[in-house]
Chains A and B, each alone.
Chain A
């Protein structure tokens, strides 16, 4: 299994600002994923982050809006840039290990 810590757990942000979410894993993992869960909806994959390479973004998500860093095998960050109220969501970090996907508790962002 894997224990995943995310910071912040929640935040209230002003329109036009940017916020960086951190994800720390208690073991080295190759693949890390960032998901978004909009209010009342399911999870949507934003991007896959592998250490040593640029993140791979899903359709509808771009690097300028959601830049991702993956400096080592236990850590990643997701930045939500130039936020608007539509970005109010829970953002979840997840890792793949032993054939399973484990999730952090998520970062709940509210954009005013």
Chain B
């Protein structure tokens, strides 16, 4: 079956530091890959996505590249802000699985001023 593995948190950073959250996946088909973000007290929001190999998703300074050869979709941001403190979820959807989303365990990021 499909699965998503992401690095465990919490990740604590200083403002303007570089952020990487690793995400790897296992899928039977050709999935689309997503990063969702959950800010404190709010619902999940789509941060970025990539639908095929070598696609790069980007939004709000975050980037992630769909790497089929390493089955990875690592999230990066060059200079984080306090407002980036949130829980980040990597996810995949696979047509073979009815396009249902499979989520990773989530990574809590805390950015300190």
Mark the stretch among B18-26, B73-81, B99-107 that contacts chain A: B99-107
Q: Report whether over half of chain A's contact residues are helix, strand or loop; otherwise say mixed.
A: strand
Given contacts A42-B105, A42-B106, A43-B89, contact A33 B43 (CB under 8 A): no
Q: Are A96 and B99 in contact (CB under 8 A)?
A: yes
CB distance from B50 to the nearest CB of A (A): 12
- Please report the C-alpha to C-alpha distance between residue A35 and residue B24 in the assembled complex, in whole angstroms: 22
CB distance from A93 to the nearest CB of B (A): 9
| Chain B residues with CB below 8 A from A100, complex form | 46, 49
Whether the Cβ atoms of A105 and B42 lie closer than 8 Å is yes
Chain B residue at minimal CB-CB distance from A103: B44
Question: Given that A100-B49, A101-B93 are known contacts, is A45 also in contact with B100, CB under 8 Å in the complex?
Answer: yes
What are 23 A-B pairs with beta-carbon distances under 8 A?
Answer: A4-B43, A33-B100, A33-B101, A41-B105, A41-B106, A42-B103, A42-B104, A43-B101, A43-B103, A44-B103, A45-B101, A48-B98, A48-B100, A92-B43, A94-B44, A99-B32, A100-B49, A101-B46, A101-B93, A102-B46, A103-B36, A104-B43, A105-B42
